[in-house]
Structure 1
Amino acid sequence: MSEDVKRREGERESRRQRIPKIFFKPKPVKVGDELEVTVSEVSRRGDGLIRVEGYVIFIPNTKQGDTVKIRITQIRPNYAVAQVI
């Protein structure tokens, strides 16, 4: 094998998948939190969307301008899902 091929194979073996820092960043909300919010945007799927300290929260069955009381139901590394209560 040539030096280049050996070097590329070694690079593949030694590479580690990096975990984005967002996975470890504390979230501004937690499951069960209740908030009163005004929907500021609509997602591509048509769900209402708000941002809390830059963290995205999706609220199904709402539209831009709605003021609703929500409960956080799911937390993901870069977004959360809430339901209207």
Structure 2
Amino acid sequence: MVEIPDSLRSLFSAPIEERNGTYVVEVPSSEVDHEALSADETYRVAVLESPASTESSMQQGTQQSSSQETVSHTPSGPPVEEGEVRDVTIETVGDQGDGIAKVERGYVVIVSGAQPGDEPTIEIEQVQKNVAFASIVDSDPRTL
């Protein structure tokens, strides 16, 4: 499994743009809207290589995430619970080869055996402050 530190607050994909001789990475407004980040704070940024072939599926994935089961959570806690079943879209792959999906407030869910663009039904197995680990309970019908 991918080792994600508890301090991870957000994971998203964004292009780097040149503006007047400097380079800018735009933070999606949803990251601030869902309280993953605050506009007046400073954050450390990690850059992960993203193959060009997964860019379109990552962009679609952030727009197509849906939950099969609605669970109410406090805004400060994780937006998932152990045993919860939901549909996700895998946005990218972590260093260990596991799929990475984002749910409410930019919360990261690591899904073993998933690939970018997959839309599996998953079950949350382990929940930590900033990341959850899940297994696939029903594969993406498009990949069968």
TM-score after normalising by structure 1: 0.68
2:122 matched to 1:35? no
Which residue of structure 2 aligns with residue 82 of structure 1?
134
User: 1:29 and 1:64 mapped to 2: Cα distance?
Assistant: 21
After superposition, what is the alpha-carbon deviation per residue over 1:26-49, rounded to whole angstroms, capped at 9, x for unaligned?
110000111111111111111000
Please tell me the residue identity of whatever aligns with 1:74: Q
For 1:16-27, list aligned pairs within 5 A.
25-27=76-78
User: 1:26 and 1:80 mapped to 2: Cα distance?
Assistant: 12
Please tell me the residue identity of whatever aligns with 2:84: D
After superposition, what is the alpha-carbon deviation per residue over 1:13-64, rounded to whole angstroms, capped at 9, x for unaligned?
xxxxxxx7x8xx3110000111111111111111000111211100000100
What count of residue pairs does the alignment treat as equivalent?
Answer: 63
Structure 2, gaps ≥5 residues long: 1-6, 10-75, 138-144
Asked if the contact 2:120–2:136 (Cα under 8 Å) also holds between the matched residues in 1, the reply is: yes
- What is the percentage of aligned positions where both structures have the same residue? 33
Structure 1, gaps ≥5 residues long: 1-19
* Structure ranking higher in strand proportion: 1
Asked if the contact 2:91–2:101 (Cα under 8 Å) also holds between the matched residues in 1, the reply is: yes
Please tell me the residue identity of whatever aligns with 1:38: T
TM-score after normalising by structure 2: 0.41
SS of equivalent to 1:40: strand
Task: Determine which structure has more spread, i.e. the larger CA radius of gyration.
Answer: 1
2:100 matched to 1:49? yes
User: 1:67 and 1:78 mapped to 2: Cα distance?
Assistant: 22
Provide the aligned C-alpha RMSD in A: 1.5
User: 1:51 and 1:36 mapped to 2: Cα distance?
Assistant: 11
Please tell me the residue identity of whatever aligns with 1:55: Y
